[in-house]
Structure 1
Amino acid sequence: MVPALQQPCPCGAGPSYDACCGRLHRGAALAATPEELMRSRYSAYAVGDLDHVFRTWHPRTRPTDLSPDPTLTWTGLTVLAAGPDWVEFEASYDRGGVAGVLRERSRFQQRGGRWVYVAGDAESSPSAG
């Protein structure tokens, strides 16, 4: 479910999907920072581009299978803080009609000149409502 190229980017940072995360998803550019990579990974989950998620995961820590969850819809992203090799964020979602929030502090590493996701400390909870 890739959005139209000129639609807003799911990560909320760019003027359009094409100018923001779309260019990373199709391999036209590499993420320059951990935050840019994290945003592209969030957008990849949001649009169902799990190949991008797999390619940007450190081979030592990535799972062998990334199966989509058909009951999960990502609905928003807020970057809370970022450092030279980490990003803390909250991602809102809807799972089967129940809203929730995933909060994670992700760790990244440069490997062969490319940023990759290593691991994260996450907690997920239903939204207060």
Structure 2
Amino acid sequence: MKCPCDPSRLYENCCKKVHQHIFLATTAEQLMRSRYSAFVLGNIAFLKESCHSSIRPKNKEAQQIENWTNSVNWIKLVVLHSMEGLNKDSTGAVAFKAFYIENNNVEMIYENSRFCKENGHWVYRGIQGK
């Protein structure tokens, strides 16, 4: 199967590894890509695990996320740029666009996501500026 984050790669050689072992995400961009793939695949457990402990969704919110992500058809991810977020860094940001179809309309999420390391691995911290 092709990886949702990059159709030129196989899922098993890309995001699947991070989904199974979050410590394998060595950059903020790699974690962001694996989170996009988790949305596409409905992997809510990984979405929760990859959030900073201060913003980790509770069960009700996680159920709402699962319901929504399963109700849309994901099209593609476009990474615009990354700032910091390398293995040696403790924080980083990744700007991206995620395209999907909802109610027969093409929609887009634009986000400049913040990431940091918590417990030795990258986690999603929220949207830049919030």
How many residues are paired up? 116
Scaled by the length of structure 1, the TM-score of the pair is 0.83
Q: What is the TM-score normalised by the length of structure 2? A: 0.82
Q: Which has the higher contact order (CA 8 A, sep 6+)?
A: 2
Q: CA RMSD in A?
A: 1.8
- Say if 1:99 and 1:121 are closer, same or farther in 2 by CA, change over 3 A: farther
CA distance in 1, matches of 2:49, 2:30: 15
1:89–1:111 CA distance, 2 compared to 1 (3 A): same
Deviation larger for 107-116 or 68-77: 68-77
Counterpart of 2:114 in structure 1 is 107
Matched residues in 2 for 1:31 and 1:14: separation?
19
Q: Secondary structure at the match of 1:100?
A: strand
- Higher percent of residues as helix: 2
**Pick aligned residue for 1:88 from 88, 95, 110:** 95
Unaligned 5+ runs, structure 2: 85-91
Does the CA contact (< 8 Å) of 1:23 and 1:29 recur in 2?
no
**Distance change in 2, residues 1:18/1:44 (3 Å):** same
State the alpha-carbon separation in 2 of the partners of residues 92 and 121 from structure 1.
Answer: 20
**Can you give the 5+ residue segments of structure 1 that lack an aligned partner in the other structure?**
1-6, 123-129
Q: Percent identity?
A: 34
